[in-house]
Amino acid sequence: MGLNGVEIRSESQEVRNLVRDLENATTLPSRGKATKRVCDLFDSDKKVVSWKFQEWDYGKKNIKLPCNARGLFILEDDDKPEIVARGYDKFFNVDEVPFTKWDYIEKNTVGPYDVTLKSNGCIIFISGLADGTLVVCSKHSTGARTDVDRNHAESGKSFLLSQLAKLEIDSREFAKRLHELNVTAVAEYCDDSFEEHILAYEGEKVGLYLHGINLNQRDFATWPMEDVARFASQYGFKPTEHFKLEDIKKLRTFVDECSQHGSYNGTEAEGFVIRSHLKDSGDDFFFKYKFEEPYLMYRQWREVTKDYITTRSRVFKFKKHKFITNKYLDFVIPLLENDKQMCDNYLRGFGIIKLRNAFLQDYGMSGMEILNYERVKELELRNAVDFDKVDENTKFLIFPVAVIGCGKTTTSLTLKNLFPKSWAVVQNDDITSKDKSMLMKKSLELLAQPEIKCVVVDRNNHQYRERTQLFTWFEELKEDYLAYDTNVKIIGLSFFPYDELDKVGELTIARVLARGDNHQSIKSSSYGEQKVLGIMRGFMNRFQPVNVERRPDSLFDLVISLRVYNKNSSLHNAKTVLHELNKEYPVLVPEVPSSDRIEQAFNQSLNYKPKITKIVRGIGGSESKKNLPTFFSAHINNRLEIIEEISNLVQNAKLDDAAKSGIKKLFQENKFQSEFHITLSHISQRKKGTELQRATWQNLIHRYQNLISTIKIQKEERHCLSTKDVVKFSIRKLCWDEKIVGILVDLPEEHLFDVDGEAVPRINFRNEVSHITVGILETGTPPFYTNELCRKVLSSDKKRDYHVLEFEYPKRFEANVRITFQ
């Protein structure tokens, strides 16, 4: 029964329909794709299925998700499935999406506006089954886990049980009550002894802060805050502070004033969640208002501290807060150098707030006082000139984010034609060198010319990986070409919103087919329509939209949004870029040229013919090759975590001078490889490997044949494809000599898993030596030398010209399977 005695449990058929729609969504290639994870429950042999979607699919008008819940758990029961736990429908920050802009909120919502203080911890879902089983989940999992070192659901449950015990409330009766009400209690677990965030939660402040009670149904419905508060009091939860404001103008004035101080009622707070209703439907409508400062500054301090502990280098480039962050480093570095335990704890996420507060106390100001202090502002301006001052000496790089056929080259050439003496375009298709960073080298070489103000780095950059590459190359190479104090602004051109991916796909395919052979790497008349369609759809499936909330896209100084909608969209896009640059950077575009001049430049760009023809693999011609990968690898995303593990291991070890020398060189000279991976299967094993290795190679080719067929690259080009499969492994031994550093890894019996968490059969990576090349100490040493070193270690070579440390508590990691062609 519901809160007011009304039956509100969804019928089994309704839930079956939901599960059917969710299962169908797992088959989608990208937009709207669902993923699921089967989870064991604590204290029960029953299982639940956790469902989630890609973050950028929420809130899109033309993407219909089966359910908008961010956190959804359904009992695995074909006969009587039921929604066990349900989070909120995803809600957004003010100005983050069109329907959270103040104009929209004022026109389309009604009060009262229930303002709730935003807690700063980890979200926990609490519900129950009919038999009294208590269900406690984190955002997307529940039950025991061996793949993480910190189980949020388990810790949340432990705290809940102690909370209920203090009130002498039986946990099974509590679970039955939740099941009877058919609700999920949504709480924030805030406890610095478990996990630190930005705000401090110690002593009496530690606890489960109850901020919502949701009905376990497909459509979002939630209890009023007054009922949530009463429930919190009854069962020992920490109450979430809340109050009502009737008028939207009062609400806006209130949150803006709090933002100026970065606090509420004199206490630091991250922001507010505001609950209201839509005028037309009366449905619940949530949005949030987050304070930018001082939390942006605090996060920057946290990241530079972790980087310093890991690399022992304080070479950082800050976009903001340069002066005060350097003051912070001046204070904390001596402390870190003299306290190994502090470093270890910090990398595990503890002592972060304590160290920050120690600096603030020493400096004699709070975070907001520092930000508002005129002298600090003056020093920030003086010290941040490299990055913030825009004048006649400022240079500009433009990175497009597009897919083939969007008109990025036509748009880029139109802009160059308007400013032939001060703009340049470097096209990726013109780069024939094996050195892929040559794209950035050529761009910086042009930008270094006194008369050149702006260079367009003409590549699709449709994935985070490619954008990350460009920013990384820029940081590494900038001072090889430009004076150290040259300020470079990097602008992103987002050629279409993610919402329009399908429409853009149809249009760009039509464009490329109509273009015929007037393209450097896609010759539609030569390759045939089906080949072109395969290439184009591969781009669409891999497309990752610009998201300025996360790296690398947060590094853009400006993102200009464009549209792809008809044959002249490149002309319109060139005009949009000009108007936006004139507004934001008049030093680059002092005035927008006349329409006639822009059209003349546009027509000139249409006459462009590629000078270099790229011969791509597997699609015809005397130069084509069979489209075979060079090797399959497990690409390790959390590289810094492994470096932290190495740091912890060597700091606790007793090493002789020879052993210390190699490790010292690794850290102090930053000899780490830019990427970590485990080679799983190499093309050399296709014919010359053992029987198992040959079978593994063939099974991998068969498993990924559809993905492999999409790759069309130049003979000499290195290219990588990421799959959604995951390899699980643990680190075993750290070994090194004077040339190289490596890690021996263990692959468990079942180690390859698909996107649903299911073990992949018939593929068994049992190489003689599974390892990671960590760093090359002696220049010129090939990475595959790690094989030789690891074989010595495993055979206990009597020469003993190497050093070995064993990880006492081997940590488990995950890595994505990647396919490399070169």
Q: What is the 3-state secondary structure (H, E, C) of 162-215?
A: HHHHHCCCCHHHHHHHHHHHCEEEEEEEEECCCECCCCCCCHHHCEEEEEEEEE
Residues 6+ apart with CB under 8 A from 172: 132, 133, 134
Q: Residue 48 belongs to what H/E stretch?
A: strand 47-53
Chain segment 712-763, per-residue pLDDT in tens = 654 445 577 888 888 888 898 999 999 999 999 988 767 788 877 777 766 7
- Look at strands 395-401 and 134-137 and give their pairing: unpaired
Residues 36, 758 contacting (CB under 8 angstroms): no
Give residue 627's pLDDT band: very low, low, confident or very high (50, 70, 90): low
User: Does the structure show a pLDDT above 60 at 527?
Assistant: no
Percent of the chain with pLDDT over 70: 85
- The β-bridge partners of 319 are none
Q: How wide is the angle at C-alpha 774 spanned by C-alphas 773 and 778, nearest 5°?
A: 90
Rounded distance between C-alpha atoms, residue 713 and residue 629, angstroms: 11
d(CA 271, CA 119) in angstroms, rounded, equals 8
784 contacts 688 by C-beta, under 8 angstroms: no
Nearest to 525 by CA among 514, 535, 534: 514
Determine the average pLDDT of the residues in 810-822.
84
Half-sphere exposure of 4 (CA within 13 A, CB side): 3
Instruction: Considering the candidates 36, 118, 478, 792, report the single residue annotated as catalytic.
Output: 118
Task: Give the model's pLDDT for residue 229.
Answer: 94
pLDDT tens digits for range 348-385: 888 999 999 999 999 888 888 887 776 666 666 655 54
Q: Are strands 183-190 and 122-128 parallel, antiparallel or unpaired?
A: antiparallel
pLDDT class of 317 with cuts at 50, 70, 90: low
Helices (H) and strands (E) in the chain, counts: 27, 28
Q: Is 118 a residue of the active site?
A: yes
Helix (H, G, I), strand (E, B) or coil at 356: helix
Judged by DSSP in three states, 741 sits in strand
- 453: three-class secondary structure by DSSP: coil
The whole-number pLDDT of residue 799 equals 67
Q: Which helix (H) or strand (E) holds 465?
A: helix 464-481
Lowest mean pLDDT, pick from 16-20, 296-300, 443-447, 809-813: 809-813
Average pLDDT over residues 523-534: 52
Q: Are 463 and 543 in contact (CB under 8 A)?
A: yes
Q: Is the pLDDT of residue 710 over 80?
A: no
pLDDT score of 689 more than 80: no
Report the predicted TM-score, pTM, of the whole model to 2 decimal places: 0.56
Domains of the chain are 12-96+120-239 (no CATH), 295-387 (no CATH), 398-606 (3.40.50.300), 631-821 (3.90.1740.10)
Q: What is the mean pLDDT of residues 783-794?
A: 85
Average pLDDT over all residues of the chain: 83
Q: 388 pLDDT band (50/70/90 cuts)?
A: low
Specify which residues 622 forms β-bridges with.
Answer: none
586 Cβ contact partners less than 8 Å away, ≥ 6 residues apart = none
Residue that the structure tokens 């070479």 belong to: 315
Ramachandran angles phi, psi of 337, nearest 5°: -65, -25
pLDDT at residue 772, as a whole number: 93
The residues near 812 (Cβ < 8 Å, ≥ 6 apart) are 146, 147, 728, 729, 730
Closest CA to 570 of 508, 527, 654: 508
CA distance 818 to 727: 10
